[in-house]
């Protein structure tokens, strides 16, 4: 009996857990550093709570047999769609910075889009893992697209284009693993590039036709030309780059970063979307490289789980969840160092935030659930 309880823990990827714990601790430390000026309840204490809740979630899903999700997949998917609709209803959804992204449930605030990401991945994995559903038949591909599109469009309507694009990219990763023919994948890539080209073209020649809000347009323009509006729309991008660049090789030292202390990095974003700027300023290139290595460990472990999965459902689940985490890590760091336009994408395991912490840890737990149930 005892062995049955110990078995999942013994079979799990311990290097992954160590990397995750290291990232969580680092995250809490630098949220502390980034919010020393804050007069509110100390954010780092809250984050410790979220990290513990996330760990519990991780362990819970580790023990739960992911195969049972097959039955719950459509319920989860349906519920998340319902919540995504509810959040758009004024009076029910909470408006923050001009977008309806939050729901209040039993006194807790959470973002339905976080649940929707997981639910969509699960539903898609289930759909594509059914025997005989090869992803080279038009009907099957169409079915997968029909599963992905509703949550993507609903999230885009909040509006939260960043999360919507993450979900879209994750779905493409899953389609790819599921065996989407390479010509079709190439076509999808080409379509994506064309869409970006069209977007930029419209932005410059006919901005009025572009279905984007002004701040979204500005963010893209500022990305293309950082000096365009340094005191307003370009502020965060410029200040984040200053923070990262001034970190130098070894950084200014823990709690010795100045960009956040002096308020140049706004205190609303420093502990959340721009936590990496705070870290890079204080630990420099050496610390940033260590951080990237830890993420490399986490992502490799995810794909390792996918490779070791006993069935296609597990493989697609692990690959999809890892793909989602990768999108977050890459986009977030790329935007803080000026490689991508500013987007509201938090950094997994580091950025302050409850919903995202839970969904990240759940994703990792689910992937490990696949890993511990491998054959060998």
Partner 1 sequence: MAWRELWNDELIRLRLLLIVMLAALGLLAVNLWRMQVARGALYQHNLGEQSIRRVRTAGARGRILARDGALLADNKPSYQVVLYLEELRQPGRGWTRTLRKVETVLQDISRLLERPSHLTADDIQNHIRARLPLPLVAWRNIDETARARLAERASTWRGVDVVAVPLRTYPAGTLAAHVLGYVSRANPPPDDETAARYYEPDVAGKEGIERRYDDELRGQAGEKVVIVDVSGFRYRQHLPAILERFRPREAVPGRDVILTLDTNVQARVEQALGTQPGAAVVVDPANGDVLAMASAPSFDPNEIAAGLPPELWQALVNDPRQPLLPRALAGQYAPGSTFKPVTALAALESGRSTPEVTYACPGYFMLGRARFNCWENLAGHGVQNLHQALQHSCNVYFFNLGLRCGPEAIHAMAIQFGFGHQTGIDLGREMSGLVPDDAWKRRVQHDGWRDGDTCNMAIGQGALLVTPLQMAMFAAALANGGSVFQPRLVAGVRDPVSGVTRTVPPRLLHTLAVDPARLRVVREGLRAVVNTSTGSGKKAALDNIVVAGKTGTAEHGAKGAGQKWTWMIAFVPYERPRYALAMLVEEGVSGGSTVAPLVHDVLYDLLAKPALLQGEG
Residues of this chain that bind partner 1 (CB under 8 A) = 173, 176-177, 179, 181-182, 241-249, 252-253, 256-259, 261-264, 280, 284-285, 288-289, 292, 295-296, 299-300, 303, 306-307, 312, 315, 319, 322-323, 326, 329-330, 333-334, 337-339
Minimum CB distance to partner 1, residue 164 (Å):
20
Cβ closest to partner 1, residue 49 vs residue 181: 181
Rounded Cα distance between 152 and 170, Å, is: 11
Minimum CB distance to partner 1, residue 267 (Å):
10
Minimum CB distance to partner 1, residue 276 (Å):
10
Least Cα distance to 314 among 304, 326, 305 occurs for: 305
Cβ closest to partner 1, residue 206 vs residue 231: 231
Are 9 and 364 within 8 A, CB to CB? Answer: no
Q: What are phi and psi of 56, to 5 degrees?
A: -60, -45
Minimum CB distance to partner 1, residue 329 (Å):
8
The residues pairing with 92 across neighbouring beta strands, listed in sequence order, are none
Cβ closest to partner 1, residue 54 vs residue 302: 302
Cβ closest to partner 1, residue 30 vs residue 100: 30
Cβ closest to partner 1, residue 107 vs residue 131: 131
> How many other CB atoms are there within 10 angstroms of residue 363's CB atom?
27
Are 310 and 375 within 8 A, CB to CB? Answer: yes
Minimum CB distance to partner 1, residue 243 (Å):
8
Indicate if the alpha-carbon torsion angle 347, 349, 354, 359 is positive or negative.
positive
Cβ closest to partner 1, residue 314 vs residue 354: 314
Strands 93-96 and 99-105: antiparallel
Minimum CB distance to partner 1, residue 343 (Å):
15
11-17 CB contacts, 8 Å cutoff, 24+ apart: 11/371, 11/372, 11/374, 12/62, 12/368, 12/371, 12/372, 13/301, 13/304, 13/305, 13/368, 13/371, 15/297, 15/301, 16/297, 16/298, 16/301, 16/364, 16/368
């Amino acid at each position: 009996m005892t062995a049955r309880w110990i078995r999942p823990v013994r079979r799990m990827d311990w290097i992954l857990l160590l990397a995750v714990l290291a990232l969580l601790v680092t995250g809490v430390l630098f949220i502390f550093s980034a919010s020393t000026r804050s007069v509110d309840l100390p954010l780092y204490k809250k984050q410790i709570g979220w990290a513990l809740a996330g760990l519990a979630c991780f362990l819970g899903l580790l023990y739960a047999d992911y195969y049972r999700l097959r039955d719950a997949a459509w319920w989860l998917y349906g519920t998340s769609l319902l919540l995504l609709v509810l959040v758009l209803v004024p009076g029910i959804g909470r408006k923050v910075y001009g977008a309806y992204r939050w729901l209040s449930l039993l006194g807790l605030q959470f973002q339905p889009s976080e649940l929707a990401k997981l639910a969509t991945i699960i539903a898609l994995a289930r759909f594509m893992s059914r025997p005989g559903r090869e992803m080279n038949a038009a009907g099957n591909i169409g079915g997968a697209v029909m599963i992905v599109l509703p949550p993507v469009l609903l999230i885009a309507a909040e509006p939260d284009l960043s999360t919507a694009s993450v979900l879209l990219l994750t779905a493409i990763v899953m389609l790819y693993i599921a065996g989407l023919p390479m010509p079709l994948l190439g076509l999808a890539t080409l379509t994506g590039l064309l869409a970006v080209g069209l977007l930029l073209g419209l932005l410059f020649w006919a901005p009025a036709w572009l279905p984007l809000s002004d701040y979204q347009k500005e963010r893209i323009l500022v990305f293309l030309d950082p000096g365009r509006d340094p005191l307003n729309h370009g502020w965060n991008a410029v200040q984040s780059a200053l923070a990262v660049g001034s970190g130098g090789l070894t950084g200014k030292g823990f709690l010795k970063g100045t960009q956040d202390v002096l308020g140049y990095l706004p205190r609303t974003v420093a502990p959340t979307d721009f936590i990496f700027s705070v870290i890079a300023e204080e630990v420099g290139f050496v610390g940033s490289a260590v951080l990237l290595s830890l993420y490399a460990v986490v992502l490799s472990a995810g794909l390792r789980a996918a490779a070791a999965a006993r069935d296609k459902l597990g493989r697609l689940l692990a690959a999809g969840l890892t793909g989602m985490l990768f999108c977050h890590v890459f986009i977030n760091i790329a935007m803080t160092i000026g490689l991508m336009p500013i987007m509201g994408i938090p950094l997994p395991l580091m950025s302050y935030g409850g919903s995202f912490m839970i969904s990240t840890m759940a994703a990792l737990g689910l992937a490990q659930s696949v890993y511990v149930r491998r054959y060998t």
